[in-house]
Amino acid sequence: MSPFPRPVYGPLEPYAPDRRPAEVDLSDNTNRWGAHPAALEVVRGADAEALLRYPPVYADALRDAVSRRFGVPPEAVATGCGSDDLLDSTFRAACEAGDGVAFLPPTFSMVEIFARMNALEARPVGAAPDDDPLQLPDPEQLVDAAAQGNPSGGGGLVYLCRPNNPTGELQPRSWVEALLDAAEARGERGPVVLIDEAYADYAPDNFLARALESPRAVVVRTLSKLYGLAGLRVGFAVGAPTVIREIEKSRGPYKVNRLAEAAAVAALDDAAGWLPEIRAATLEGRARLAFELAARGYEPVPSAANFVLVPVDDAVWVTASLRLAGVAVRPFPGLPGIGDAIRVSVGPPHELDRLLSALDGLYA
């Protein structure tokens, strides 16, 4: 009889972020301006067909809408139940059990969980407690870490979050190019480089075009942030068609439901130009938040995303105190090289006002 649970699942805990309601919730980087209005209209107008029939197996209409919006061929796009689904599927498609997933801590916390869920080894690079997390290692180090001792003899996977969650950092383009070059130079024994662009809608550049050309790169995106559709769970991956086909094999059928697909298409088409408006408001709010925090003596990490990481003396205490004042943020105790910090999503002016006055009340 096989063991239940699998031994590799032993240390796994179900994901359990603090989801208690708050008057002002700046804890999960969703869109504080609301859901995309065109998507909301689709959901409101749903009929029985949308519920009773199976969706298209691989969400063809969604794939076409991504293709239109980003100018990439439809066969270079895979879609899924949130970008989490694409990260998970790519891990599975790229690696055999026991292979390595190299990453730069601190980064998206689900990476280690997805690695373990797929019986892979999470391999942090540059995690020494005193390392400066904004100091990047030689890309070859990541490529080596992903490959080292892999039972399959393959190159494993390098995960890179750009802009990074939770720091907001945008790794220099030249450094990412060097990482891709290093992976490609090893040919079939090189790692797959998975670039998580969940926050690239707020950044000055991205790697979509580069992923199309590379036999080793995959870019993953989400509609949970700028598009305001986290509840519908829609994400997509872009890469060379040969790579995308492998991801679809490991993803499985029917992952985007019929209603989510139709709503996502309307949001991607963005006929009324809502997206650029919200993006501009978010960037304005981000600049204001950084300015106001600095004026109060905090040293927020420069961010290319829709959130700001703020080092504090005691992340758990600050988070609990802000919650008492009706504001939810995410605590990050003991981040390597940073220490304690809170991560604050950028919201509209009245929500930032609430946050700032709650912060002002902390030591009053």
Ligand X SMILES: Cc1ncc(COP(=O)(O)O)c(C=O)c1O
Under the rule (CB under 6 A), what is the footprint of ligand X? Answer: 29, 82-84, 108, 161, 165, 196, 198, 222, 224, 230, 235
Min. distance of Cβ 98 from ligand X in angstroms?
24
Q: Indicate the SS3 state at residue 189.
A: helix
Min. distance of Cβ 85 from ligand X in angstroms?
7
Choice between 100 and 235, CB closer to ligand X: 235
Choice between 58 and 307, CB closer to ligand X: 307
Choice between 42 and 198, CB closer to ligand X: 198
Min. distance of Cβ 29 from ligand X in angstroms?
6
Choice between 120 and 198, CB closer to ligand X: 198
Min. distance of Cβ 353 from ligand X in angstroms?
24
Task: Find the DSSP H helices in 60-189.
Answer: 60-70, 82-94, 110-117, 139-147, 173-185
- Of all residues in the shown chain, the one whose CB is closest to ligand X is 82
DSSP-assigned letter for residue 51: H
Cα–Cα distance for residue pair 277/305, rounded to 1 Å: 16
Give me the amino acid identity at 188.
Answer: E
Min. distance of Cβ 231 from ligand X in angstroms?
9
Q: In sequence order, what DSSP letters do the residues of 264-317 get, joined into one string?
A: HHHHHH-TT-HHHHHHHHHHHHHHHHHHHHHHTT--PPP-SSSEEEEE-S-HHH
For the chain, the first-to-last Cα distance in angstroms comes to 62
Cα–Cα distance for residue pair 112/101, rounded to 1 Å: 8
Choice between 192 and 359, CB closer to ligand X: 192
Name 311's bridge partners: 341
Choice between 29 and 89, CB closer to ligand X: 29
Min. distance of Cβ 109 from ligand X in angstroms?
9
